[in-house]
Amino acid sequence: MVDLNKLSPAALKAAMRGGTTAWGWVGSEDHVRYAEPITYRRKCWCGCGKRSTHIGMANGVALLSGCELSVRRWVSSPPC
In a domain, 11, yes or no: no
Mean pLDDT of 15-36: 87
In angstroms, the CA 64 to CA 55 distance is 6
In a domain, 30, yes or no: no
* Structural domains in the chain (count): 1
In a domain, 17, yes or no: no
In a domain, 61, yes or no: yes
In a domain, 79, yes or no: yes
Angstrom CA distances, 14 to 9, 42, 73, stand at: 9, 26, 16
pLDDT value at residue 54: 95
In a domain, 18, yes or no: no
User: Does residue 43 contact residue 51 with C-beta atoms inside 8 Å?
Assistant: yes
Report the predicted TM-score, pTM, of the whole model to 2 decimal places: 0.83
Single out the residue of 70, 64, 25, 27 nearest to residue 46, CA to CA: 70
In a domain, 6, yes or no: no
Domain residue limits at 66: 35-80
pLDDT tens digits along 6-19: 888 998 988 888 88
Answer yes or no: is pLDDT of 53 > 90.
yes
Q: What is the chain's mean pLDDT, rounded?
A: 88
